[in-house]
Amino acid sequence: MMIDAGHQWATATAPATVSNVAVGFDILGFSLGQPVDRVTVRRSADKGVRLVDTGGVGDLPGEVEENTATAGLVEMVADLKLDFGLEVSVEKGVPMRSGLGGSAASAVAGIVAASAVLDRPLSLPQRFHYALLGEQRVCGRRRADNIAPAMLGGLTLIRSIDPLDVVRLPVPHQLEAVVVEPEVQVEVRKARALLSDTVDREDFVVQTANLAGFVAGCFEHDRELIGRSLKDLIFEPQRAHLIPGFAQVKEAALAQGALGSSIAGAGPSVFALHDSHVDGQELCQTMIEAFREAGVEARGYTSPINSTGAYIVERGPRV
Amino acid sequence: MMIDAGHQWATATAPATVSNVAVGFDILGFSLGQPVDRVTVRRSADKGVRLVDTGGVGDLPGEVEENTATAGLVEMVADLKLDFGLEVSVEKGVPMRSGLGGSAASAVAGIVAASAVLDRPLSLPQRFHYALLGEQRVCGRRRADNIAPAMLGGLTLIRSIDPLDVVRLPVPHQLEAVVVEPEVQVEVRKARALLSDTVDREDFVVQTANLAGFVAGCFEHDRELIGRSLKDLIFEPQRAHLIPGFAQVKEAALAQGALGSSIAGAGPSVFALHDSHVDGQELCQTMIEAFREAGVEARGYTSPINSTGAYIVERGPRV
């Protein structure tokens, strides 16, 4: 077996992701084909981790402990007692504070690239461990609902974080996603602070029924069941007001035949799922237009939700 | 196509059921092979519904509007404007107020038997409609988490009651249930009144993760995932004190290798799921013994959870 490690440098990519997915608050997430972050990690003689390029994105943290691409690597380097250092460059494709898992994408791409320059590659649990640490620095809490789909691709269920228990869910054929990102920013911590600490028991029953219906619909490739189930009656109503035009965008998506639509992560991006009866590009334009009518400029992405997770796109010679 | 209706009399059976199933409060239920209720419905010249035999169970309501076997039939007879009457006899096998869906079993057996004596049989949605009405009279609320598995058999998800949206979930091979019924009674309404009206948001996340894990485990026939997921951290702790010895019975079941154990419905019965690594009879004895050590006599049942739902066991000649 070839061990894919020990390279002088490696560049990894990890995609944007949509967490929560209407019915899976903090436990479901899926990956998008685009946009992606690319992180290059290079061995260096000087020990420690250095961030040599943050990709020209103005407000990205330059301190290695504060940037999600490197915060996990700092821990890894200490744990492994490496006798060499790591130079890290980030090409930021996933917008930050958009609800599209920007910090997870950097954290995952960073650890996947770093694994390829080590003498022995990290195990998957190790990669999760350090990516989670990196995300934790920025989000202030351990969460895997963007990390897991960014790492593995597709639709993932995080059954447990400690110990990590991630389940890949099957995705029905031709199920695709449209994500539209408005030019407004929602602070994740603020969006979470707004949430009620409790859930009404009757709402709990309806929401869990929809969650179970969604999971069953995925396994049975039953797009109608997925559509009937894709409704968030608990968290979406508490956050929708943070996103100008949200109601109109969602309504426009459903009117055009989307199976469901809700907030991507903590927002402000809005996603819709659809099958082949709906043209993704047209749906995307409709949602952008609905934002525009609400006075907000937006840009959109279309993607299958069964896309690839993180992988090495390029690497240098072996050490 | 033979229409299975128009018989002079028919006897139907419907099984005991376990609702909630640890992670599916109000939305999941599975059927047992035993015990069962048997209801016989006979055409009569006199119009209306008469309860001619309640099976000798002392405290079963004799009024047709108050007995779940007949309450739905009263509505049906009125809706269909039948020019004949129905005489109903109940053989009560499922104990009442045990948490094993006793009222649902009678309601379902009653409507399935009645359908066979009509000139045209009821559709499945009609049978659900009247069985739900029957159960509603006794429980005070519309609920289908015992009705659905009693009607269809196996493991069922009630995604919605209005409109009715029931999903059969696949059951892994060799997954079996043990149910132990202690000689204490829990009033369903009281058990519900005890519950908090709200659910802590952090508990919500863990419980929904386990629900999704359980459903995924069923589809993937992954008994370990089912076992890791079968934990109720919300409702079981609020009800456990109603059942003397519950903690010891559950602990004994898990110690003997059960995948999971929790309260059946609102209690007081306790169920455990296990696979072929565990002997169901031995597990049953262990759980009965644990109840006995807590000072409570109990009896038990073992059953596959993929058992048949309601069906006609015997019928008279056509009219």
Residues of B with CB under 8 A from a CB of A: 24-28, 157-160, 165, 167, 169, 195-201, 204-213, 215-216, 219, 225, 228-229
Q: Does residue B16 sit in the same domain as residue B144?
A: yes
Spell out which residues of chain B touch residue A225, defining contact as CB-CB under 8 Å. Answer: 159, 167
Residues in A touching B207 (Cβ below 8 Å): 208
CATH of the domain at B32: 3.30.230.10
Are A198 and A97 in the same domain? no
B4 located within any domain: no
Whether residues A165 and B213 touch (CB distance < 8 A) is answered with yes
Q: How many CB pairs under 8 A join A and B?
A: 110
> Whole-angstrom Cα distance, residue B13 to residue B193?
31
Closest Cα of chain A to B16: distance in Å? 22
Q: Which of B198, B207, B217, B169 is nearest to B28 (CA)?
A: B169
Both tokens of B172, joined, read 């892994």
B71 within a domain of the structure (yes/no):
yes
Q: Are strands B9-20 and B85-91 parallel, antiparallel or unpaired?
A: unpaired
Chain A nearest CA to B308, separation (Å): 21
**Assigned domain for B254 exists:** yes
Strands A311-315 and B48-53, sheet pairing: unpaired
Query: So what's the ipTM on this one?
Result: 0.94
Residue B87 has pLDDT above 50, yes or no: yes
Answer yes or no: do B63 and B164 share one domain: yes
Q: Which residue of B has its CA nearest to A220?
A: B219
Q: What spatial distance separates the first Cα and last Cα of chain A, rounded to whole Å? A: 18
Within chain A, residue ranges assigned H as helices are: 68-80, 102-117, 124-139, 147-152, 188-193, 201-219, 223-229, 236-239, 246-255, 280-293
Spell out which residues of chain A touch residue B163, defining contact as CB-CB under 8 Å: none
Which pLDDT belongs to residue A1? 39
- What is d(CA B38, CA B42) in angstroms, rounded to the nearest whole number? 13
Q: Is there a domain that residue A32 lies in? A: yes
Chain B residues within 8 A of A28 when measuring between CB atoms: 212
pLDDT of B58 > 80? The answer is no
3-state secondary structure of A272: strand
Q: How far apart are CA B82 and CA B78, in angstroms?
A: 7
Contact flag B228-A159 (C-beta cutoff 8 Å) = yes
Based on the fold, state whether residues B286 and B266 are members of the same structural domain.
Answer: yes
Question: Considering the domain boundaries, does residue B3 fall inside one?
Answer: no
Cβ contacts of residue A258 below 8 Å, gap of 6+?
A178, A272, A273, A274, A278, A283
- Model confidence over A127-157: pLDDT tens digits? 999 999 988 887 777 889 999 999 999 999 9
In a domain, B2, yes or no: no
Chain B residues touching residue A206 (CB < 8 angstroms):
160
- CB nearest to A27's CB, from B28, B209, B219: B209
Locus of tokens 């992988």: A311
Q: Which two tokens stand for residue A201?
A: 């028991």
- What average pLDDT does range B104-116 have in this prediction? 97
**Average model confidence (pLDDT) for chain B?**
93
Residue A117 and residue A209 in one domain: no
Confidence at residue B1, expressed as pLDDT on a 0 to 100 scale: 40
Of A200, A201, A208, the CB nearest to B211: A208
Q: Which of A30, A27, A22 is nearest to A235 (CA)?
A: A22
The number of domains in chain A is 2
Residues 6+ apart with CB under 8 A from B22: B210, B214, B230, B231, B232, B236, B260, B262
Q: Do B169 and A216 touch (CB under 8 A)?
A: yes
- The model's pTM is 0.95
Out of A160, A211, A229, name the one closest to residue B211 (CB).
A211
Based on the fold, state whether residues B278 and B294 are members of the same structural domain.
Answer: yes
Q: Are B302 and B281 contacting, i.e. CB atoms less than 8 angstroms apart?
A: yes
Would you give the DSSP letter of residue A140?
Answer: S
| Residues B289, B162 share a domain | no
Q: A254: domain CATH number?
A: 3.30.70.890
What gap in Å lies between CA B198 and CA B221, rounded to an integer?
A: 33
Q: Would the CB atoms of B208 and A27 count as touching at under 8 Å? A: yes
Out of A199, A201, A205, the one facing B27 most closely (by C-beta) is A205
pLDDT, residue B174, reads 86
The count of C-alpha atoms lying within 13 angstroms of the C-alpha of A225, restricted to the half-sphere facing its C-beta, is 22
Domain containing residue B297:
176-304
Whether B209 and B257 share a structural domain: yes
Of B26, B209, B219, the CB nearest to A159: B209
| pLDDT confidence bin for B59, thresholds 50/70/90 | low
> Are B197 and A200 within 8 A, CB to CB?
yes
- Does residue B54 fall inside a structural domain? yes
Say whether both A130 and A216 belong to one domain.
no
Q: Indicate yes or no: CB of A201 within 8 angstroms of CB of B195.
A: yes
Distance from the A123 Cα atom to the nearest Cα atom in chain B, whole angstroms: 21
Per-residue H/E/C for chain B = CCCCCCECEEEEEEEEEEEECCCEEEEEEEEEEEEEEEEEEEEECCCEEEEEECCCCCCCCCCCCCCHHHHHHHHHHHHHCCCCEEEEEEECCCCCCCCCCHHHHHHHHHHHHHHHHCCCCCCHHHHHHHHHHHHHHHHCCCCCCCHHHHHHECEEEEEECCCCEEEEECCCCCCEEEEEEECCCCCHHHHHHCCCCEEEHHHHHHHHHHHHHHHHHHHHCCHHHHHHHCCCCCCHHHHHHHCCCHHHHHHHHHHCCCCEEEECCCCCCEEEEECCCCCHHHHHHHHHHHHHHCCCCEEEEEEECECECCEEEEECCEC
Q: Contact, B201 vs A200, CB < 8 A?
A: no
Asked whether the beta carbons of B31 and B301 are under 8 A apart, the reply is: no
Residue A203 maps to a domain: yes
Give the integer Cα–Cα distance in Å for A158 and B213.
9
Q: Which of A201, A212, A225 lies nearest to residue B198, judging by beta carbons?
A: A201
Residue ranges, chain A, pLDDT below 50? 1
Question: Once rounded to an integer, what is the mean pLDDT over residues B6-33?
Answer: 96
Give pLDDT tens digits for B240-286: 999 999 999 999 999 999 999 999 999 999 999 999 999 999 999 99
Q: Do residues A146 and A180 both lie within one domain?
A: no
Instruction: Flag if A209 and B159 touch (Cβ within 8 Å).
Output: yes
How buried is B24 (Cβ within 10 angstroms: 0-12 exposed, 13-18 middle, 19+ buried)?
buried
The residue with tokens 């759980």 is: B287
Instruction: Enumerate the residues of chain B whose CB falls inside 8 A of the CB of residue A195.
Output: 201
Q: Which of B25, B201, B212 sits opposite A199 (nearest CB)?
A: B201
Write out the two tokens for A113: 């690239």
Q: Is the pLDDT of residue B2 over 70?
A: no
pLDDT at B33 over 70: yes
d(CA A19, CA A225): 20
Q: Indicate whether A153 and A19 sit together in one domain.
A: yes
* Same-domain status, B17 and B119: yes
